């Protein structure tokens, strides 16, 4: 499902209603594995109630965040720009590019779905690629691109990445750790229907692990990382306030483009981007 298909097949919550939207979401996540919902109210309890029709919303793991209002709900990770020392490269509270990855890649069991609600899409009037546009990637598309880009290494790399089990931790979170391979099959009849465990600093995590992975394994991971960060194969589009992006967390990676975090208004005062997401993983 590409960006045009995803946008064309969007469901209008305001027009369709709660139960019908939930039924459509269940069907789409089982078939096309992705869905865009428009015009969802800014209501934390309603949001969690809606996601509860799809599975069990997991407890928010972002316990160390100092963001005000992060107690919207125990399952909601409130993601917003905050000026100050927390805005380090790679952290999702900053305004830098967020590279494609999978939600809670370290966790066992794997969360089935990821939901991102745009409580405020923020400033979307800047040049393309600097508005925090959403990025999605179907892992099946990445594998096919891998096969095309590295035809000589693909078979060996795929075997290593899908057979060798690895365990790595999150930076600050302590949860039960998965020991699945980086690539794991979801359908034995389709070699390209796979899940992936991708963290934004996966290479460093594996290199410094205990024990560290082999050189051949690390080289394969580097090639995989190069492939999945190729913008030519990703789905990129601008989300709007009230949108919910739902994806199968096994089959899709997600990220975003950078965004402008501050600007000077007409009277010379600094304004900060009001962009705000409510992220929830669902089991």
Of 182, 197, 228, the one marking the end of a domain is 228
CA–CA separation, 203 vs 193, rounded Å? 23
pLDDT in tens, 198-241: 998 999 999 887 778 999 999 999 999 999 999 999 999 999 99
Quote the pLDDT of residue 209: 77
Same domain for 124 and 19, yes or no, is: yes
Same domain for 31 and 83, yes or no, is: yes
CA–CA separation, 138 vs 34, rounded Å? 10
Q: Where are the beta strands (DSSP E) in 192-275?
A: 194-196, 235-237, 244-248, 252-256, 262-264, 270-272
How many other CB atoms sit within 10 Å of the CB of residue 184? 17
Same domain for 46 and 123, yes or no, is: yes
Same domain for 15 and 123, yes or no, is: yes
Cα-to-chain-centroid distance, residue 218:
23
Q: Any idea which residue has 């795929």 for tokens?
A: 158
pLDDT in tens, 84-111: 554 444 344 678 899 999 999 999 999 9
Quote the pLDDT of residue 71: 77
Q: Is pLDDT above 50 for 147?
A: yes
Quote the pLDDT of residue 255: 96
Nearest partner of 93 among 74, 111, 109, 80, judged by Cα: 80
pLDDT in tens, 3-40: 778 888 999 999 999 999 999 999 999 999 999 999 99
Of 184, 208, 228, the one marking the end of a domain is 228
End-to-end CA distance of the chain: 23
Angle at 252 between CA 121 and CA 137, to 5 degrees: 75
Quote the pLDDT of residue 5: 86
Same domain for 244 and 127, yes or no, is: yes
Q: Identify the CATH number of the domain in which residue 18 sits.
A: 3.60.130.10
CA–CA separation, 273 vs 261, rounded Å? 5
Q: Any idea which residue has 């107690």 for tokens?
A: 71
Quote the pLDDT of residue 173: 73
Quick one: tokens of 77?
């990770």
Quote the pLDDT of residue 90: 37
CA–CA separation, 116 vs 150, rounded Å? 33
CA–CA separation, 222 vs 122, rounded Å? 34
Range of the domain at 43: 3-137+236-282
Quote the pLDDT of residue 97: 92
Categorize the per-residue pLDDT at 68 as very low, low, confident or very high, splitting at 50, 70 and 90: low
Same domain for 178 and 122, yes or no, is: no
Query: Stretch 164-183: mean pLDDT, rounded?
Result: 89
Please state whether beta strands 11-12 and 194-196 pair in parallel, antiparallel, or not at all (unpaired).
Answer: unpaired
Of 185, 200, 228, the one marking the end of a domain is 228
Q: What is the count of structural domains for the chain?
A: 2
Describe the crossing of helices 18-31 and 44-52 by its angle, rounded to 10 degrees. 50
Categorize the per-residue pLDDT at 60 as very low, low, confident or very high, splitting at 50, 70 and 90: confident
**Average pLDDT taken over every residue of the chain:** 91
Same domain for 242 and 107, yes or no, is: yes
Same domain for 83 and 208, yes or no, is: no
Query: Stretch 61-88: mean pLDDT, rounded?
Result: 68
Quote the pLDDT of residue 15: 98
Same domain for 128 and 14, yes or no, is: yes
Same domain for 59 and 185, yes or no, is: no
Categorize the per-residue pLDDT at 2 as very low, low, confident or very high, splitting at 50, 70 and 90: confident
Same domain for 93 and 221, yes or no, is: no
Same domain for 21 and 109, yes or no, is: yes
């Amino acid at each position: 499902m590409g960006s045009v298909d995803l946008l064309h097949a969007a469901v209008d919550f305001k027009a369709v209603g709660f139960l019908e939207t939930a039924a459509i979401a269940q069907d789409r996540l089982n078939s096309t594995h992705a869905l865009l919902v428009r015009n969802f109210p800014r209501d934390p309890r309603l949001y969690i109630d809606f996601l509860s029709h799809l599975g069990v919303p997991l407890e928010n793991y972002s316990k160390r965040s100092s963001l005000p209002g992060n107690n919207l709900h125990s399952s909601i990770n409130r993601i917003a720009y905050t000026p100050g020392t927390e805005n380090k490269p790679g952290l999702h509270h900053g305004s830098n590019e967020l590279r494609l990855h999978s939600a809670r890649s370290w966790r066992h069991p794997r969360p089935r779905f990821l939901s991102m609600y745009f409580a405020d899409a923020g400033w979307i009037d800047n040049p393309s690629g600097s508005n925090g546009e959403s990025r999605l990637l179907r892992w099946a598309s990445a594998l096919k691109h891998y096969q095309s880009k590295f035809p000589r290494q693909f078979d060996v790399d795929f075997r290593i990445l899908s057979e060798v089990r690895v365990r790595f931790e999150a930076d600050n979170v302590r949860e039960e750790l998965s020991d699945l391979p980086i690539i794991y099959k979801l359908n034995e009849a389709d070699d390209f229907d796979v899940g992936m465990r991708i963290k934004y600093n996966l290479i460093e995590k594996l290199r410094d692990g205990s024990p560290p992975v082999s050189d051949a394994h690390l080289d394969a991971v580097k090639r995989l990382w190069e492939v999945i960060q190729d913008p030519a194969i990703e789905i990129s589009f601008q989300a709007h306030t009230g949108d919910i992006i739902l994806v199968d967390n096994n089959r899709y990676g997600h990220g975003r483009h950078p965004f402008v975090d501050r600007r000077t208004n007409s009277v010379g005062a600094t304004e900060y981007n009001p962009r705000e997401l409510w992220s929830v993983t669902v089991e």
